[in-house]
Structure 1
Amino acid sequence: MGGPRSGNMRCILPPVLALLAAALLTVPDPAGDARGDGTYTLPTQPAGLAAALDLRELRAESVNGKLRLMVGLGAVQNPWNAPLGYSAGVLDIFVKSRLGGASDLGGLGFTTPPNDGWQYHLHFTGFDQTLDFVPDGSSKPVRKNVALPIRLTGSTLSIDTPIPAGQYSYWVTLSVYSPFTPDGLLRPSVSGGAASLVTPRSGTGRGSAPIPVDVISGGDQTRAYTLGVLQPVGQTRDRRTILLLGMGIFGLLLTLVATVAVWRSPR
């Protein structure tokens, strides 16, 4: 029973278990849905943007206790010659790590569901990256001056974050990049030329079309664009709830032990 085969199994199991422990979340996204609610017409200049603006997957991993996020794309394009090697889109990732937080998703035309919110907002273009954080007891984000190493492997963007690894919820959006706007976002309009993002709805004001052309959503994408409410993917463990549950179980165990002790004591 303790021969070479069992020895090999002991050698193989630790790395396998380590890999399983590192994986936190994998969420696929359908191909070919980078058209908002289905009515968006992408710019034809630069050419071939559709696949490069198509979100395919979100993966979250624990690496040395920190959160690594990987976003798969349909293709990679660098029409504006960004240092990263990708400049077709603007990637925004919002992370919910606890209760509370901000409900507006970065001014992109989406909000979180009622009584929901995010604590971290990672924003990426091919030229720069930023991280905003919502402190405890606040709904207003503040900018954190930290490095966000990002690399491109095939058609996957991999981001090493300073966020402690955990079971979180996420909102992920991808917008069209433009070097001709102050914030790098190409906004929808009801008409325009080859370099425009066109939708039937107005691109400004209340009830306007959201800016992103694709999202990774926990619900129906068309409905999200119609209502402007984006459902998260993943889950958040509320440590306070877990603590209360643990205290409750501990209290029950103490009661059980005390009851048994009384029952077994001599009379």
Structure 2
Amino acid sequence: MLSLLAAALLTIPDAAGDTRGDGSYTLPSRPPLAASALDLRELRVETVNGKLRLTVALGSVQNLWNAPLGYSAGVIDIFVKSRLGGASTLDSLGFVTPAQQGWQYHIRVDGFGSSLEFVPDGKATPVRKDTPLTVRLSGSAVQVDTPIPAGQYGYWVTSSVYSPFTTDGLLRPSVGGGSASVSSTRPNAPVPVDVLSGGDQARAYAQGVLQPVGRTRDRRALLLLGLAAAGLLVCVIATVRVWRKSRV
């Protein structure tokens, strides 16, 4: 029955073999980490019973830390833009959104659990929501059933190396790190080793600005602009008519 109530909204592919950040990242070799297990391949967005189901396809699955999900190589972050406003910083990942492209929902998934944050109307600071997420592994894809109402939204998706030895589960890049580190050529490099990008991934890392994919413009803003233009046109026409009558 659920399959009858599910409908595909969006599918966005990502290039294979780009789990090196800006091109200079080196993945840990201890424990031996498969690059394909962190390689974003696709985001699929569906509506199931009026809510979003988000599926992030990876190159492969690796469970180095014996997580109950069956996958523990990485941490997947999904940010969702559903309206105007929102937060402009992509958590502590080292990326910001373009101007006027803030997010309203943030989902984080690793092999041991998940979390959901939400930015209330008129605010720019997210708050934690206690609503549980249903997360499952489907082949080499991580599937998340969310409480987010179905709609045409914008998305930011990132893949980072998981570590059980940090407070947030993220293994951050370092310059000249050892075999258990993500190595980068520059300090304070963005945390993800791969991002879902519709353009130049290296440029996103260099600038620290990650472009959203999916619906990147809020149609309500365009509608308001159209209404304002129509109102201005009506005022101009009315003014011209009054002026002509006064000339008669």
Shorter chain as denominator, the TM-score bin is 0.7 to 0.9
Contact kept, 8 Å, 1:43 with 1:49, in 2: the verdict is: no
Contact kept, 8 Å, 2:85 with 2:103, in 1: the verdict is: yes
Match status 1:131 vs 2:116? yes
The Cα shift of 1:218 comes to: 2.7
Aligned pair count reads 227
| Of 213, 219, 239, the match for 1:238 | 219
The alignment partner of 1:151 has SS state of strand
| Of 81, 84, 89, the match for 2:69 | 84
Q: Which residue of 2 aligns with 1:112?
A: 97
The alignment partner of 1:129 has SS state of strand
Q: Which residue of 2 aligns with 1:263?
A: none
Aligned pairs for 1:221-232 (under 5 A) are 221-232=201-212
Match status 1:210 vs 2:190? yes
Q: Which residue of 2 aligns with 1:165?
A: 150
Contact kept, 8 Å, 1:23 with 1:62, in 2: the verdict is: yes
Q: TM-score, normalised by structure 2?
A: 0.86
Match status 1:178 vs 2:158? no
The Cα shift of 1:132 comes to: 0.3
Of the two, which has the highest radius of gyration? 1
- What amino acid is aligned across from residue 230 of structure 1 in structure 2? L
Contact kept, 8 Å, 2:43 with 2:55, in 1: the verdict is: yes
Match status 1:141 vs 2:121? no
The Cα shift of 1:182 comes to: 1.1
CA distance in 1, matches of 2:184, 2:225: 49
The alignment partner of 2:206 has SS state of helix
The alignment partner of 1:22 has SS state of strand
Bigger Cα displacement from structure 2, 94-103 vs 184-193:
184-193
CA distance in 2, matches of 1:147, 1:33: 32
- What amino acid is aligned across from residue 214 of structure 1 in structure 2? D
Q: Which residue of 1 aligns with 2:234?
A: none
| Of 47, 56, 70, the match for 2:41 | 56
- What amino acid is aligned across from residue 219 of structure 2 in structure 1? D
Q: Which runs of 5+ in 2 are unaligned?
A: 231-248
Q: CA RMSD in A?
A: 2.1
Contact kept, 8 Å, 1:99 with 1:238, in 2: the verdict is: no
Aligned-residue sequence identity (percent) comes to: 67
Q: Which residue of 2 aligns with 1:255?
A: none
Aligned pairs for 1:2-41 (under 5 A) are 22-41=7-26
- What amino acid is aligned across from residue 238 of structure 1 in structure 2? R
CA distance in 2, matches of 1:40, 1:150: 29
Q: Which residue of 2 aligns with 1:10?
A: none
The Cα shift of 1:49 comes to: 2.3
Contact kept, 8 Å, 2:27 with 2:33, in 1: the verdict is: no
Contact kept, 8 Å, 2:84 with 2:218, in 1: the verdict is: no
